[in-house]
Amino acid sequence: MASTSRRIPPKQPAKTRANADQLANDLAKKLTIGTAKGKQKASNEATSPKSTKLESMRSINAASQALSTAVQSGWKNSSTNPSKVTLNTVNSSAKEVTRHLETLRRLCPGDIDVERAAASVLGKLVALEMVRYYCLRRCPTKPFRQHDLASSFLPDMHCRLLNFLHVQVTEPASNLGLLSIPEPLSRPTDPVILNLVSTYLMHALILATRNERSSVVELATALDAPAHRTLLHWLPHFSTLPTKHVDSLLTRAYSCLTKMSSSTEKPLSKPKTPSVAPSPQSLFSLRMYALQCLIHTSSGIIEANTFWDQATKSAFIFAKSTTSTDTTEDDTTRSILARFDTLSELATRRQDVEAFMATDETSKGFIAFCDQWASFAKMVGF
C-alpha cells in the first residue's frame, strides 16, 4: 500500500542577522536537494551575485588571516634569506585578495567595507615589506612588477576614495600622483572615510620612500607641489579622528622620510635607468616635511630639545652642502628661513607651546634654533 504521508517542510527559523559562516552553511544545505529541479535551483543560487560575494568575502578573510600570521611571526621580505615558504604564502594570499577584491568591487562598487578590507591587507603587506620591486613610473603594458604586491593596491583604492569623497576621478600623471587625494568642496565628516583616507595617504608615502628606485628629487617635488594634497594638507580634516591614530600616522611618516633622506645604502639591484642624484635642496625639503609631520603630534610624543636639534642639524647640513656662489648661498639661506618660520608658526599652535618653545636653561634645543635662525637672517640682511 502506497504511503499517504506527506513530507512536512521544516519550519522557517526566525529571521536573524546571519554571519558569513551561517550563510555559507545554508547555501551548502541547499546544494543537497535531491530532485533535478532542486539541483538546478541550487546551482543557480550557488552562482548568484549573493553567493559569489559571500565566497569572495570568506576568501579575503582567510587570505588576510594568513598575512596576519606572517606579520605576527616577525617575517619581513627584506630580511637576509627570508623563508621561501612564507614568501610563497604571502604572494599567494595577496594575489587571492586582489582577485576577490576585483570581484567585490564589480558586484558592490559603493561598498566602503570592501575598501576597508583592502586597506587592512595593504597595511599587512607594508608591514611585511612586500615593496622591494616597486617601480616609480607606470609601464603601459605592465603597470606594476610581479613582486610589487603592496603598491599594486594603491591605484584602485585611490580611485574609489575619490568616489567616496565625490571628487572627480582623474588618472594620476605618475605613481607619485597617488600620494595626493584632492580635497572635496564640502568638508568630509564620515569617520570611516576619514580613517581610510588617512591610512591610505600614510601607506602611499611609506611605499614611495621604500622604493628601491625612488628619486629623492621627485618625491620632494611631489610633496612640495601646491596642487598635491598629501598627508600634511589633510591633517585639519583628521581632527575628529582618535589622537592615537593620528600620532601613529605622523610618527610613521616622519620615520620613513628621515630614513630615506639619511640612507646611504646601495639599491638591492642595479636600476635599468640612471637614478637622479639627490640634491641638497631635495634632501632638506624631505627632512623639513618630516619635521612638520612630527610637530603636529600631541604633547609627549616628541621631546622639545630633540625636535629643535633635528631642525638645526638639517639646516646646517643643507647650508654646508651649498656651493660657494653668492646666488646659491642666498637662495639656500632664504629657503632655510622660510622653513624655520613655518616650524616656528606650527609650534605656536601646540597645546604645550610654553614648554616646547621655552627659553630657560633646560631648553638648549630651542635656544640653539633661535640663534641659528638669527644668524641666517643676518646673512641676507634681515
Domain boundaries, the chain: 48-130, 135-260, 303-382
- Please state the pTM of the whole predicted model: 0.80
Which residue bears the cell 627570508? 82
**What pLDDT score does 325 carry?**
55
List, for residues 87-120, the tens digit of each pLDDT value: 899 999 999 999 999 999 999 988 999 999 999 9
Give CA–CA dist 126/248, Å, rounded: 15
What three-state secondary structure class fits 1?
coil
Burial of 373 (0-12, 13-18, 19+ CB in 10 A): buried
User: How far is Cα of residue 154 from the mean position of the Cα atoms in its chain?
Assistant: 8
Ordered alpha helix ranges (H), 225-322: 231-234, 243-262, 280-295, 304-321
**What pLDDT score does 265 carry?**
41
Residue ranges, the chain, pLDDT below 50 = 1-39, 41-45, 133-146, 264-273
The H or E element that residue 270 is part of is: none
Judge whether 161 and 178 are in contact, CB under 8 Å. no
List, for residues 259-310, the tens digit of each pLDDT value: 998 874 444 344 444 555 688 999 999 999 999 999 999 999 999 999 999 9
**What pLDDT score does 18 carry?**
43
**Residue 251 carries which side chain, given as an amino acid letter?**
T
Give CA–CA dist 223/236, Å, rounded: 17
Q: What is the 3-state secondary structure (H, E, C) of 115-151?
A: HHHHHHHHHHHHHCCCCCCCCCCCCCCCCCCCCCCCH
